[in-house]
């Protein structure tokens, strides 16, 4: 039951909902988003969300914009909230699944994708993502020949705070949202070096800690990338007619500017498939990588009938 309180309403939980004000801010945010001004859009969406936190469209658009600017924790919280509705939006479930997969939460990601397919069994992207998630859930990390660790073992889920690391190293990992040993295996040495104020001493400290356990930075990426590349191949073949040979071409063939090339090198992007697996947010997260470089890369890919990995809008 909804009760009136002046211009606003009280829902069944006693929360104030001002849908009229929310719509006004929503329209302002949508226009800012269409202009490409994401930060102004976020500010207006946040005002709309404050006026009516139960508006699923406001919740989704705010989460989507936050995700694009790298505010993953806030975006995840909002996507989770929107997914709890009786009939959640399919793009909410897909984007939430992508975020869960990136965090190694494969069971949760699979549950979201299966919920999409239960509503729309022939949803092309959901079917591709399901293959990717299932492959990731079963992946094994090789240590030495003949020795393997299951991806979801207790060791890999151990918080990095449990290991003997300096305060500086722990703080840096926390700011990078690296919580567990498994998270460390999904980042490269280049990515750690690129993080602000992350020094050689902290890097050496972390590498020694991993080496003592027969592990190394980036160790999980090879298997993850193979599964992700398979999904990229399938999707791009369908959408653009590209084949394996085209996707394996070196990014050097794009003839990018020096700044764009350096950013891709820091992300260990070597082939077109590597590049197509990245989102705009991932590229924009690289230090000194701006909108000019992003547009340059997107235009080059468009000319080849390709694109960066996209979240559901």
Q: What's the pLDDT tens digit per position in 61-101? A: 998 888 877 788 888 889 988 888 888 888 889 888 888 87
In percent, the amount of the chain with pLDDT more than 90 equals 5
Q: Which of 31-40, 175-184, 239-248 has the lowest mean pLDDT?
A: 239-248
SS3 241: coil
CB 306 within 8 A of CB 236: yes
- Determine the average pLDDT of the residues in 275-294: 79
Q: With cut-offs at 50, 70 and 90, classify the pLDDT of residue 28.
A: very high
Say which CATH topology domain 142-211 has.
DNA polymerase; domain 1 (1.10.150)
Q: With cut-offs at 50, 70 and 90, classify the pLDDT of residue 192.
A: confident
What is the tens place of the pLDDT at every residue in 108-155? 888 888 888 888 888 888 887 787 777 766 544 443 333 344 443 566
At residue 27, the pLDDT reads 92
At residue 262, the pLDDT reads 81
Q: Which residue has the higher pLDDT, 146 or 309?
A: 309
Q: With cut-offs at 50, 70 and 90, classify the pLDDT of residue 105.
A: confident
How far is residue 158's CA from residue 173's CA, in Å, rounded to a whole number? 14
Number of separate helices (H) and strands (E) present in the chain = 17, 5
Is the pLDDT at 201 greater than 60? The verdict is yes
Which token pair is 85? 């509705």
- Determine the average pLDDT of the residues in 180-190: 79
Q: Which of 285, 298, 313, 263 is nearest to 71 (CA)?
A: 285
Is the pLDDT at 164 greater than 50? The verdict is yes
CB hemisphere CA count around 269 (13 angstroms): 26
The residue whose two tokens read 């992946």 is 139
How far is residue 227's CA from residue 126's CA, in Å, rounded to a whole number? 15
How far is residue 261's CA from residue 254's CA, in Å, rounded to a whole number? 10
CB 187 within 8 A of CB 176: yes
- Determine the average pLDDT of the residues in 240-255: 74
Q: Which residue has the higher pLDDT, 290 or 58?
A: 58
SS3 287: coil
283 Ramachandran zone, left/alpha/beta (phi>0; psi -120 to 50): alpha
At residue 236, the pLDDT reads 57
Say which CATH topology domain 3-88 has.
1.25.40
Q: Which residue has the higher pLDDT, 196 or 83?
A: 83
Is the pLDDT at 193 greater than 80? The verdict is no
Which token pair is 282? 């991932």
Is the pLDDT at 157 greater than 50? The verdict is yes
Domains 3-88 and 142-211 share a fold: no
DSSP code of residue 288: T
CB 63 within 8 A of CB 79: yes
User: Would you list the domain boundaries of the chain?
Assistant: 3-88, 101-139, 142-211, 221-303
- Determine the average pLDDT of the residues in 218-232: 60
Is the pLDDT at 156 greater than 80? The verdict is no
Question: For domain 221-303, is the CATH number 1.25.40.10?
Answer: no
SS3 16: strand
At residue 44, the pLDDT reads 92
Which token pair is 49? 């969300």
Q: With cut-offs at 50, 70 and 90, classify the pLDDT of residue 14.
A: very low
In percent, the amount of the chain with pLDDT more than 70 equals 78
Task: Give the gyration radius of the chain's Cα atoms.
Answer: 21
At residue 216, the pLDDT reads 80
How far is residue 173's CA from residue 160's CA, in Å, rounded to a whole number? 8
Q: Which residue has the higher pLDDT, 244 or 152?
A: 244
Q: Which of 285, 296, 290 is nearest to 67 (CA)?
A: 285
């Amino acid at each position: 039951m909804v009760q009136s309180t002046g211009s606003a309403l009280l829902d069944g939980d006693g929360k104030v909902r001002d849908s009229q004000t929310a719509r006004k801010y929503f329209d302002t945010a949508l226009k800012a988003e269409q202009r490409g001004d994401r930060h102004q859009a976020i500010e207006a969406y946040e005002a709309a969300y404050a006026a009516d936190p139960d508006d699923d469209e406001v919740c989704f658009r705010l989460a989507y914009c936050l995700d694009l600017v790298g505010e993953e924790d806030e975006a995840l919280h909002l996507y989770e909230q929107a997914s709890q509705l009786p009939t959640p939006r399919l793009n909410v479930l897909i984007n939430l699944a992508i975020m869960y997969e990136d965090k190694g939460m494969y069971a949760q990601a699979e549950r979201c994708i299966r919920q999409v397919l239960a509503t729309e069994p022939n949803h092309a992207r959901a079917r591709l993502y399901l293959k990717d998630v299932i492959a990731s859930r079963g992946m094994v990390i090789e240590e030495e020949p003949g020795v393997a660790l299951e991806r979801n073992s207790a060791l890999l889920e151990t918080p990095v705070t449990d290991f003997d690391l300096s305060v500086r190293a722990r703080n840096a990992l926390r700011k990078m949202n690296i919580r567990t040993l498994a998270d460390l295996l999904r980042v490269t040495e280049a990515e750690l070096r690129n993080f602000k104020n992350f020094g050689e001493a902290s890097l050496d400290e972390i590498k020694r800690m991993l080496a003592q356990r027969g592990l190394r930075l980036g160790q999980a990426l090879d298997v993850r990338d193979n599964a992700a590349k398979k999904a990229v191949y399938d999707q791009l073949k369908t959408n653009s007619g590209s084949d394996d040979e085209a996707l394996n071409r070196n990014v050097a063939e794009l003839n990018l500017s020096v700044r764009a090339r350096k950013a891709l090198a820091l992300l260990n992007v070597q082939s077109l498939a590597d590049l197509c697996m990245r989102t705009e947010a991932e590229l924009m997260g690289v230090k000194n990588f701006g909108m000019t470089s992003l547009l340059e890369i997107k235009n080059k890919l468009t000319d080849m009938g390709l694109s960066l990995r996209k979240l559901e809008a």
